[in-house]
Structure 1
Amino acid sequence: MTAPILPLVEYEDASPQVREVYDDIMETRGSDWINNFWKVLAHDPATLKRTWQDVKQVMAPGALDPLTKELIYIAVSATNGCEYCTYSHTAGARAKGMTDAQLMEVMAVVGMANETNRLANGLRPPVDAQFLPEHPET
């Protein structure tokens, strides 16, 4: 287990601005605890609030269902090597019904996408005209 760069800001030690964000996190998630990511960000209440508002907006129901959003988050987190986010969003996806088979399939896609991206970046093939969006004349 890694040690945090900054100590965790627990609820009882938090400023009123931080407690307000913590309360919103718990209410939004239907939870009675704050995970360590937020406790570290609490050292800068403005960053904590901005980041939470952005996450809350992006992860809210939309054109993509909540499980799909978690699967995307897992894929990006694994590619970026973020252990914390990979664990956190795997737990979130499991809570939304993800199976072990789905996780393994996501990881297979992640591995394949990373391999073919590196090949394409190294070899620099021109993008096929059929892949480009059509833009009507304006």
Structure 2
Amino acid sequence: MSRLPLLSREKADDKSAPALASVQQKLGMLPNFFAGMAHHSGTLNAFLAAQQAMTADSRLSAAQREMLALAVANANGCGYCVSGHTVSARAAGVSAEAAMQAQAGKAKTAYDQALLDVALAVLEKRGHLSDEALRAAREAGLDDATLVEIIGLVSVNSLSNWLNNVIRPAIDFPEVALV
């Protein structure tokens, strides 16, 4: 049971309702996560704007962004986001095995592994990335713009993870266990 009421478009305020309608139209459903976030229109609209801007100007593929989201969600203990991003990862061409590996911070290519390593180090160290980790990322081919994007993605994904961990909405995707 959700620890905050989940707001429908009809129950949300005038600033959140249009965002919820847009999400529902885009996804064909209104995930419980957005219905919980709708309590604060500024957070909801900022989250959606950040997602849109980062997707439009991404140096990473959809599959890479989803693998990063899975690793961060798992590290943050968010079963809701792991479940939702597993669906999104599969839609982006990530196999079930690769999605599970991403949850554990593992990837098949050196470049993708470097993405996950940086993301998880940023999360674990709260941005205090060691010189060695930064050097390894650059040696793997991550340029400065990609490093900044990874940090942005860790931030946006952590926001959704933390909100879901507080709200605890029912998972409205096929449930996937944390690893």
Any idea what the Cα deviations from partners look like across 1:48-94, whole Å, max 9, x if unmatched?
11122112222346210111101100011111111111111111111
Aligned partner letter, 1:90: T
Aligned partner letter, 2:63: L
Q: 1:6 to 1:104 in 2, by over 3 A?
A: closer
Deviates more, 1:75-84 or 1:17-26: 17-26
Q: Write the mapping of 1:72-83 to structure 2, written as runs, cut at 5 A.
A: 72-83=68-79
Higher relative contact order (CA 8 A, sep 6+): 2
Q: Write the mapping of 1:47-126 to structure 2, written as runs, cut at 5 A.
A: 47-60=43-56, 62-110=58-106
Q: Give the C-alpha shift of residue 32 in structure 1.
A: 2.3
Gaps of at least 5 residues in structure 1 are 134-138
Gaps of at least 5 residues in structure 2 are 107-116, 139-179
Percent identical among aligned pairs is: 25
TM-score by length of 1: 0.69
TM-score by length of 2: 0.55
Question: 8 Å contact 1:8–1:36 — kept in the other structure?
Answer: yes
Partner of 2:6: 8
**Total equivalences in the alignment:** 117
> Which protein shows a greater Rg?
1
Name the CA distance, whole Å, in 2 between partners of 1:61 and 1:67: 15
CA RMSD across the alignment: 2.8
